[in-house]
Amino acid sequence: MSSKKGGQFERDICIKLSLWWTGGKRDDVFWRTAGSGARATTRSKQGKKTFGLYGDIQAVDPIGQPLMDLCTFELKRGYKKWSVQDILDKSKKMKKQPLEEFLEQARQSSKDAGTDHAVIIARRDQREAIICMDSWIFAHISEKCDPFQDACIRFKCGLTHYRMMTLLDFCNWADPEVFINLQKLRKCK
């Protein structure tokens, strides 16, 4: 992946998430994390925390912080040879597949950040962007919003069950208020 291609993808996703989060009113709530979270990753290896710099997206306006406190986002663009099928039909002798590596990186970023959920947004060349999240958060959104009716893939990687759908379907379906309420519940624990 060229950094130019990935950088533009990250900017586009930040704008889309900002518009989704604010009901189309603002495009500047989320932005790219400096160095794609490299500083936070390096400091985590030293046992140090770094506020707001985990993963590929950060809240640059406090109104977006509830989402960042709950989820850590990893963005992947331009990887040509990966799909969910790589996990489903993989033999035990095969090396880790790209999607497994993406999920592992996202889970580690989430753990380092202290968030409960790792989310991947990815786009292959000449394809639509997809979003992948654990089934727990998907189920919670389903409880609060209408049941999801469009195409969605359910799969397991390691011990975790995931759901994957297009980012457009997600933004049309998921109400940001669900994430705000989840974060409020998390703080009460």
| Domain boundary assignment for the chain | 3-188
pLDDT 10s digits, 142-151: 888 888 888 8
pTM for the full model? 0.86
pLDDT 10s digits, 74-88: 999 988 788 888 888
Cβ within 8 Å of residue 183, ≥6 positions away: 66, 67, 69, 70
Instruction: Name, of 15-19, 78-82, 113-117, 140-144, the range with top average pLDDT.
Output: 15-19
**What's the pLDDT at 82?**
87
**What's the pLDDT at 40?**
47
**Cα radius of gyration rounded to whole Å, the chain:** 16
pLDDT over 90 for what percent of the chain? 55
